[in-house]
A and B are shown apart, each in its own frame.
Chain A
């Protein structure tokens, strides 16, 4: 299994530009999570999906952030317009449904390191 695949691994952009981060979850997983990691705030949950439906986006910092999951094998996190304070590592993770008795082990991608100048 290829694991959770994220792209790009690194992105450097200028303030005001649109940024799109991509994620391919593990096949068969029905939960997908987007986390953001910074030194100051640690790992923060931004949004999560169940069966491609957004369940909780209360962690999305502002309207500049949006996420979609058009099908079971693809999700995007978009920032428009980007700001320097958005600089962080963004992780995508997937897991099986808890309703199937799975207790919520997350499988993480390698992350997308975003730098906004």
Chain B
């Protein structure tokens, strides 16, 4: 069963706007990761945030983590058409070597 659940399932915005995706999970984690998947391609790692971190930045990406609420958000600023993809959160639970993925958010950025 999925550990992480993304919200919304789909998001449609215009170029230049910001996109925010949320992820909720159920059990204690070691870290939480976000991945992007372009249509017909494999998943690509975007950013990782550890359980003792609250916020992390990478280029136009900003990730927050609230362990008390068991939730994370991914913000993409100044979106581009090339950001069109599915975005997945994945959790690494304590004591486990595997990642559990949510079902993803489909982001469509229109020119």
Contacts and interface: CB of A to CB of B under 8 A. Distances in A.
Contacts, number: 54
Interface string A10-50: 00000000000000000000010101000000110100101
Contacts of B33: 104-105
Summarize A's interface: helix, strand, loop or mixed.
strand
Interface string B34-47: 01000001111100
Range of interface residues on B (Cβ < 8 Å): 20 to 34
A55 B59 CA distance: 36
Contacts of A56: 98
The 5 A-B pairs at the shortest CB distance, nearest first, are namely: A108-B42, A43-B101, A42-B103, A108-B43, A110-B42
21 contacts: A31-B97, A33-B98, A35-B101, A42-B101, A42-B102, A42-B104, A43-B43, A45-B98, A48-B97, A48-B98, A55-B97, A91-B42, A93-B42, A93-B43, A103-B30, A103-B48, A103-B50, A103-B92, A106-B90, A109-B42, A110-B42
